[in-house]
Structure 1
Amino acid sequence: MTFAETFLNSYIKRALGYKELADKTFAQLSDADFHYQPNEASNSIAVTMQHLAGNMLSRFTNFLTEDGEKEWRKRDEEFEDQQWSKDALLKRWNEGWDCYLNAVKQLTADDLLKTITIRSEGLTVIDALNRQLAHYPYHVGQIVYVGRMIKNNEWQSLSIPKGQSQQFNDQMQHKHS
């Protein structure tokens, strides 16, 4: 496997891991939970989902050939809660992720050093990808944190539950030996 193939496979694996964290959070929430806003200056999970989906659709539609900030994107509206249902939010969320992941899966080794633009700024494809793989987990962390605040003691851990690190390590050692 070439370096480019290894990089792209790793990139997709990491992106899917972040999506999974958000999806596991969504599964624990009611419709109303998506619209909970911790305070006036904070975004609800719904608003964060709207923003991420809008960003993904803008950045990765015609990724190699058009500026990543599309004229049709209404970024400011992404930060206004549209009061969509859980199903509507998940539909939009998945549209964004499908656009993003499909664009990345189509990239070749030769594409990685090409220059694309975002808001007229030239970036290599590698730099643009790294930029997004920093941006999306930043917001996924917000989603998980707000979800955990909402669920409080009913929260189901997304990774290793408190007090179970040694048990998890033992399982991993057994699995990989």
Structure 2
Amino acid sequence: MTIGTEYLKIVRERFRKVKGLGDKALQQLSGGDIHWTLNETSNSVAVIVKHLSGNMTSRWTDFLTSDGEKSDRNRDQEFINTVSSKQDMMSIWEKGWTTVLETLDALDEADLLKTVTVRGESHTVIDAIERQLAHYAYHVGQIVFAGKQLKDEAWETLSIPKGKSEEYLQQILKRHQD
């Protein structure tokens, strides 16, 4: 195994984990919940999903051969809530993630040091991958935060429950001993 193939394996897993975290958060939200905003300057979950998908589709379509900011993308429109239902939102979510994951799966080690452009600015493929991973994790964190605010005590935690860190650690250690 080379460092390039290991890196690709790791980032593919990381993107899938970020998507999985978002999937679990979105499952807990109702059709009405997805339109909630904390205040006038906040985005609803539906808008965050619409923006993420727009970014994903733009950045990852023809990833190695065209600028990541496609001419047909209207970023400002992504922040206007036109999502009609949770089902519509989930279709938008899956479209973006499918584009990302299929493109990542098609990359190989030789692609990592190639140059891609976003808004005319050059980046190595590694840099472009890292920027997008951070961007998507940031927005999925916003989705989780919104879900926690909406569901309060009914929220099913997506990580180690409060006050259960030691118990969780002991379970992990026991698994590794068996």
In which range does the TM-score fall when normalised by the shorter chain? over 0.9
Q: How far apart in 1 are the matches of 2:117 and 2:111?
A: 14
- The answer as to 2:98 corresponding to 1:93 is no
Could you say which residue in structure 1 is the equivalent of 2:175?
A: 175
1:130-164, CA deviations, whole angstroms, 9 ceiling, x for partnerless residues?
11011110111111001100001111100111111
Could you say which residue in structure 2 is the equivalent of 1:12?
A: 12
Q: Could you tell me the percent identity over the aligned residues?
A: 48
Q: How far apart in 2 are the matches of 1:40 and 1:108?
A: 44
Paired residue secondary structure (1:176): helix
Task: Count residues in correspondence.
Answer: 177
1:44-87, CA deviations, whole angstroms, 9 ceiling, x for partnerless residues?
00000000000000000000000000011111110001132101
Could you say which residue in structure 1 is the equivalent of 2:51?
A: 51
Could you say which residue in structure 1 is the equivalent of 2:76?
A: 76
TM-score in terms of structure 2 length = 0.97
Could you say which residue in structure 1 is the equivalent of 2:106?
A: 106
Paired residue secondary structure (2:161): coil
Structure 1 unmatched ranges of 5 or more: none
Could you say which residue in structure 2 is the equivalent of 1:135?
A: 135
**Deviation of residue 112 (structure 1)?**
0.4
Could you say which residue in structure 2 is the equivalent of 1:63?
A: 63
Give the partner amino acid of 2:105: K
**Deviation of residue 96 (structure 1)?**
0.3
1:79-119, CA deviations, whole angstroms, 9 ceiling, x for partnerless residues?
00113210111011011001001101111111000001000
Q: How far apart in 2 are the matches of 1:23 and 1:66?
A: 29
Q: How far apart in 1 are the matches of 2:134 and 2:28?
A: 25
Could you say which residue in structure 2 is the equivalent of 1:2?
A: 2
Q: How far apart in 2 are the matches of 1:157 and 1:40?
A: 27
Give the partner amino acid of 2:33: D
Q: How far apart in 1 are the matches of 2:171 and 2:125?
A: 38
- The answer as to 2:42 corresponding to 1:21 is no
RMSD: 0.7
Q: Is the 8 A contact 2:67 2:117 kept in 1?
A: yes
Give the partner amino acid of 1:17: K
Paired residue secondary structure (2:116): strand
Q: How far apart in 1 are the matches of 2:83 and 2:131?
A: 29
TM-score in terms of structure 1 length = 0.98
Q: How far apart in 1 are the matches of 2:165 and 2:101?
A: 32
Q: How far apart in 2 are the matches of 1:131 and 1:166?
A: 33
Paired residue secondary structure (2:93): helix
Deviating 4+ runs (over 2 angstroms): none
Could you say which residue in structure 1 is the equivalent of 2:151?
A: 151
